[in-house]
Amino acid sequence: MKTQFKTFSMSALTAGLALALAGCGQSDAPSSANDKMTTQSESAAQLSATSHDDTLDLTRISAVAQTLQDRPTPWTDARLRDALTALPEGDEIRGERVANQFLCIACHSVEGEFRSHTYVNLNAQPENYLRKVLLDYRHNHRAEPYGQAKIMHYLSKELTDQHISDLARYYAAQQPLVNTTSTVSIESSTEQLVTTGDMSRMIISCAACHGAQGEGNGDTFPALAGQAVDYTIRTLKAYRDGSRNNDVNAAMRNVAQNLTDDEIEQLAHYYAQIGQ
């Protein structure tokens, strides 16, 4: 309503000023009347343009304000710990029922081959990491506009806290899937990124957070071994360009922004092959 009132006020002011200008100087000599009318018309047009620009500026400001209001508060260690602590204990048997009820297994199979080379492998992931992922989707921490990832935003909002804990317990208890899709030769520089990183570019080693064998490390660092190549490439590029921002303290974004396309592809194949 405020924006509409502002727009109306500016339009009324413009019209009033234009009429005032048109009414001025009627007693002047005919030889100057046309010049005055031309000047008055130009002035009215300029005021109208100003009114239009002000309206657009208000629209932009309103859009930016709404975006900032909708943007989730970034994770910190403390906020994530509190969120995970508030969740109930999970149950593997209930988790299997939930996985079937919400058709999770349609994309995230628990046995055999990968359903797709672009879907994440959830098997044997740390339980708290899986709970965090579902909270990310529920609270719009993962803005992934592409492909099937959209559906996770809708599904996660239908899940209760108990559903989230049960699903996490179920998938964490499964055996890892075997990835047999990568045969790319791994360069020594890639192994160096994994084991020691490259501090000249502020890239810490992958193993520091994800384990020496990509098995995951601690409660919230995911396992990378055996992940689908395409999924890992997409994930690292999303961190690099900032479209994925659910990492605690921007840790992954700080690393990924310094990786080249070739390094990202190599890392994806490296971890896929560990899973073989």
Tell me the average confidence (pLDDT) per consecutive run of 10 residues in the chain, 276 residues long: 41 42 41 47 54 58 50 84 96 98 90 73 93 92 66 92 98 84 92 97 96 87 91 94 90 96 97 83
Domain of residue 199: give its range.
Answer: 188-273
In this structure, the answer to whether residues 193 and 263 fall within a common structural domain is yes
Residues 168 and 82 in one domain: yes
Residue with tokens 């209930």: 94
194 and 223 share a domain? yes
Same domain for 123 and 95: yes
CA dist 194 and 205 (Å) reads 5
Quote the pTM value.
Answer: 0.71
Structurally, the chain folds into a number of domains equal to: 2
Identify the CATH number of the domain in which residue 241 sits: 1.10.760.10
Report the SS3 class of residue 203: strand
Per-residue confidence (pLDDT) for residue 257, from 0 to 100: 97
- Distance separating alpha carbons of residues 140 and 63, to the nearest angstrom: 18
Say yes or no: 169 and 194 in one domain: no
Give the residue from 134, 149, 173 where a domain finishes.
Answer: 173
- Residue 153 belongs to some domain of the structure: yes
Question: Which amino acid, one-letter code, is at 209?
Answer: C
Q: Are residues 223 and 256 in the same domain?
A: yes
Check whether residue 163 and residue 219 sit in a common domain. Answer: no
